[in-house]
Structure 1
Amino acid sequence: MHAVRRVPARAVRGALAGARRVVFLDDDPTGTQTVRDLPVLTRWGVEDVRWALRQDTPGFFVLTNTRSLAPGEAATRDREVVEACLEAAGREGVRPVFASRSDSTLRGHFPLETDAIGEVVAKHGGTVDAVVLAPAYTDAGRVTIHGVHWLRAGDGLLPVAESEFARDATFGYRSSRLADWVAEKSGGRLAAEEVAELTVEDIRGGTTESLRNRLTGVRGGRVVALDAAEDDDLRAAVLAVLAAEDAGMSFVYRIGPSFVRARVGQDAQPPIADEVLAGLVRPGAHGLVVVGSHVALTTGQLAELGRRRRFAAVELDVPTLLDETRADEHIRDAVAAAAAALENSLVVLSTSRALVKGADEAASLHIARRVSAALTTAAGRVVAARRPGFVVAKGGITSSDVATEALGIRRAWVRGSLLPGIVSLWEPVSGPAAGLPYVVFAGNVGDESSLADVVGRLEVL
């Protein structure tokens, strides 16, 4: 493999003058964990989008939560967001480019979401020359090398299709090579041999001009899969993407969190300093941790949190939640217990750890949505009854539902991470949760100590 070609973030920032503003349609809130000081919208009214466009940033997030939706609903939501963004951009005189930010372990609606974005762009007279596919998340050990997507596992790398994420009840897959994954997820409509690959050798051995020329040769909505073993690889690719856009190319991005950071010209930065946190967290108030994720890592993190500190555990039993005759009473009891416990301790509100699946993909998604709705309802009632010092939401869909439904967040700022490159803190600027520190913690990142570390940072302030 070629030696890394060092590309500083300031080189990307220098190329952003006159570049298109990026709208990151985030299918859950965890795409924010690699960046800081960018706006986040959980609603996409034209005036909300205009507010985001008026901020002096190279892009902003719109939280669509489409990973929790059935395919038809996800496509409809994406179309609504793009329509609103194009209307707002027209009023503000801004040229947007759209990114479908999704999971670095390849779970999500693809190519449905990029297709939906492209349809609306075409409806308004635009084109999508190519789809840039870059799922890497270097901070969490998700990298793409020689066209194959890998996960860090122990001291080595595991092909993503051999991981637990590939067995997801809703978004499972068999292919680790991105070109094959594209063909698999598109049902063969997008052929593997038609996927252009920019490998680490291409990126590290090329120049911005040569890579731009490779990109401008890709047309007709084909997919370009980007290798990325380090952030420098992505920044080199982003410079070429910006140059191709400046030459008239039109892309839609399907990306993981690391491309977000590269595209807005930010460096990997240290976690938020304690003195900054102290200005955000209300002293003396205990926190609420809301856990919906069922991956093994989350279960291990909960166990480690229990070993390191005392907390009041309030569990929502999934089979009971699925029983319409008992669900409401069960939620009321959980809310009362959690609100009472917040007076004296940290509270963890979680779903039971046994994953309940349906007979097929659609049924599994329906169960997941019912359980998430119950957890969100309970969390909102707890916060209304006794405002905590902070809220941590564990799991991508959980983070979205708690932000939008439980806390009523409409506009917020990403203030940065609580651990290196992972776990973002939002500062809500509107709604009943304005000023309440909100921590977005994906289910599949960190190690077993990460949840305890985050809570430890917040509770000692």
Structure 2
Amino acid sequence: MHIDALLADLPASLEIPAAAVAAARSDDLVFVVLDDDPTGTQSVAGLPVLTRWAPEDLDWGLTQGAPAVYVLTNSRSLSEADAASRSREVVEVAIAAAARAGVRVSFVSRSDSTLRGHFPLETDVLSAAAAEHGGAAPHLTVLVPAFPDSGRITVDSVHYWVVDGEAIPVGETAFAGDATFGYRSSNLRDWVEEKTEGRIRRDDVAALTIDIIRSGPERVAGFLRELPAGTVVAVDVVDEHDMRCVALALHALEHEGMASLLRIGPPYLRAHIGQEIAAPVTADRIEFANARGGLVVVGSHVPLTTAQLEALLADRPGTVTVELDVRALIDDRREAHLSAQADAVARAIASGTVIVHTSRELVTGRDGAESLDISRRVSAGLVELVARVLELAPPRFVIAKGGITSSDTASEALGIRRAMVVGPMLPGIVSLWQPQVGPAVGIPYVVFAGNVGTTESLALVVRTLAD
């Protein structure tokens, strides 16, 4: 369906300033965002992000004066048991740190705007853990996967991916065929029933539709106030003002003692804390520690990433390019292959930017668990290569393309334990971090999701940093 036809009969969007939302939220409440890969920071600016959750890390994050702190759990790359354990750990440490800092915390589950991730596992665990440590489970679980900046919107509970003006139900896209987190349903109510294996029926999922949202925050609050405890709410979103309207309603309910657990795509947190849409970061705002070339690491295999890589190579035909053979990374050739390719990158980076990418063949296992294991082994190979390059010839900047790739590159290869999110490199997408501790201090780090932007987006970001 063409996007114009989909939106033609909707009520007019409201005009809600970000400042109104900021004024409505509680000053003593900090949102701790458990991000299942680092790409969730791409829509925000000026917020701390942690890749570790020791007490001293949460103490630092909660004393930065920010309304939210991101904790990179990387749980999308983990098994269900490990993902659950990690969520429990973060909740326990964060609640203790909040007591020391004299603030309250509310937990947010940030996941993929194309519905891939550990749901309902993570919201179930967070709800139970919050109740265990805080005394009361959240009244509602609010599902907001929309990412309008990148063409993901929800209308009449159906989640769409908009490409070239065509609104495609997300269940009909390649994302729904994910080897580990695949699904069939595009309607979020059906998707909840599918993912909970019938434990939550689609008719028990509340549909917070555009017509309600665009009637104003009081109407939204009234709708939500009447829902039974434990209800999952599927939220329609077409633009930023829809999200701000929902945020105003949720803040009003929070003041009444009705807490909600958010399961969201990247931009909703920005709307929820009342942050303006940040302008893209320009070259004059970026601090570099050295004059070597940069390092661009591409691990994602989604079709959009492959197209972006091809466009980057066409845009920079003279740039040294090093390929990591996926099959070599998962067999006995691994060490020799990594050693040779890392040495090649380190030599080339002395005089210019280097592009490293995995071979474009998608190697999968016999089931979701085996496919996830292959993904982890390939990502570990990329991480090892980046770590070796960092030791041999620290780059001017690092760009990591893909969810697991960018997470492991940040926490393992570059040793980024704490960072500040400077802002987006492109409107609403692609996050720039400045590491605050560790060996990568002074090396700007760009987190670039696999499934966002246009064909030219990667080339544009490289131009900003390299030219």
Does the 8 Å contact 1:281/1:458 carry over to 2? no
Q: In the alignment, which of 437, 455, 461 is matched to residue 462 of structure 2?
A: 455
Residue 267 of structure 2: SS of its match in structure 1? helix
1:218 alignment counterpart: 227
Alpha-carbon separation, structure 1, partners of 2:320 and 2:367: 35
TM-score normalized with structure 1 length:
0.97
SS at match of 1:262: helix
Distance 1:219 1:290 in 2: 47
What percent identity do the matched residue pairs reach?
A: 51
1:263-274 matched pairs, under 5 angstroms? 263-274=272-283
1:417 counterpart residue number = 424
Q: Match for residue 98 of structure 2?
A: 89
Letter of the 1:101 partner, please give it: R
Q: In the TM superposition, what whole-angstrom CA distance separates every residue of 1:296-341 from its partner, at most 9, and x where no partner exists?
A: 1111111111111121111111111111x21111111111111011
Q: Is 1:171 aligned to 2:181, yes or no?
A: yes
Task: Indicate if the aligned counterparts of 1:16 and 1:58 stay in contact, CA closer than 8 A.
Answer: no
Indicate which of 9, 18, 38 corresponds to 2:27. Answer: 18
Secondary structure at the counterpart of residue 214 of structure 2: helix
The residue number in structure 2 matching 1:275 is: 284
Secondary structure in structure 2 of the residue aligned to 1:314: strand
CA drift of 1:20 comes to 2.2
Query: Scaled by the length of structure 2, what TM-score is found?
Result: 0.96
Cα deviation for residue 274 of structure 1 reads: 2.8
Aligned to 2:391: 384
- The residue number in structure 2 matching 1:28 is 37
Name the residue aligned to 1:286. 293
1:341 aligns with 2:351: no
> Where does residue 393 of structure 1 map in the other structure?
400
Runs of 4+ aligned structure 1 residues displaced above 6 Å come to none
1:429 positional shift = 0.3
Q: CA deviation at 1:283?
A: 5.8
What is the one-letter code of the residue matched to 2:243?
L
| Selected match of 1:321 from 326, 329, 352 | 329
Alpha-carbon shift at residue 57 of structure 1 (Å): 1.2
Quick one: structure 1 residues 213 and 19, their matched pair in 2 at CA, closer, same or farther if it must change by over 3 Å? farther
> In the alignment, does 2:311 pair up with 1:301?
no
Q: 1:235 aligns with which of 232, 239, 244?
A: 244
Give the counterpart letter for 1:292 in structure 2: G
Q: 1:282 Cα shift?
A: 4.0
Deviation at 1:208, TM superposition (A): 2.2
- Is contact 2:35-2:74 (8 Å) kept? yes
1:142/1:150 contact within 8 Å kept: yes
SS of alignment partner, residue 290 of structure 1: strand
SS in 2 for 1:368: helix
Give the aligned residue type for 2:178.
D
- Pairwise CA distance, 1:445: 0.7
Match of 1:367 among 374, 387, 390: 374
Measure how far apart 1:19 and its partner are: 5.6
Where structure 2 has 5 or more consecutive residues not aligned to the other structure, the ranges are: 1-9
Contact 1:19–1:246, Cα closer than 8 Å, also in 2: no
Which residue of structure 1 lines up, in the alignment, with residue 452 of structure 2? 445
Gaps of 5+ in 1: none
Aligned partner of 1:407 in structure 2 is 414
Corresponding letter in the other structure for 1:234? M
Asked whether the 8 Å contact 1:151–1:159 carries over to 2, the reply is: yes
The question of whether the paired residues in 2 share the 8 Å contact of 1:409 and 1:428 is answered with yes
The counterpart of 2:171, out of the listed 146, 157, 161, is: 161
Cα distance per residue 1:433-460 (max 9 Å; x no partner): 1121000000111111111110001112
Contact 1:31 1:260 in 2 (8 A): no
User: Which digits, 9 at most, give the CA deviation of each residue in 1:205-245, with x for residues without a partner?
Assistant: 2x322321222222332201111000000000000000011
Q: Is the 8 A contact 2:145 2:265 kept in 1?
A: yes
Query: Is the CA contact (8 Å cut-off) linking 1:320 and 1:330 kept in structure 2?
Result: yes
Secondary structure in structure 2 of the residue aligned to 1:257: coil
Partner of 1:340: helix, strand, or coil?
helix
- Aligned to 1:349, the other structure's residue is in SS state strand
The 5 A counterparts of 1:247-262 are: 247-262=256-271
- 8 Å CA contact 1:349–1:379 kept in 2: the answer is no
User: Is the CA contact (8 Å cut-off) linking 1:411 and 1:430 kept in structure 2?
Assistant: yes
Q: How many residues align?
A: 456
Measure the CA separation in 2 of the matches of 1:142 and 1:210: 25
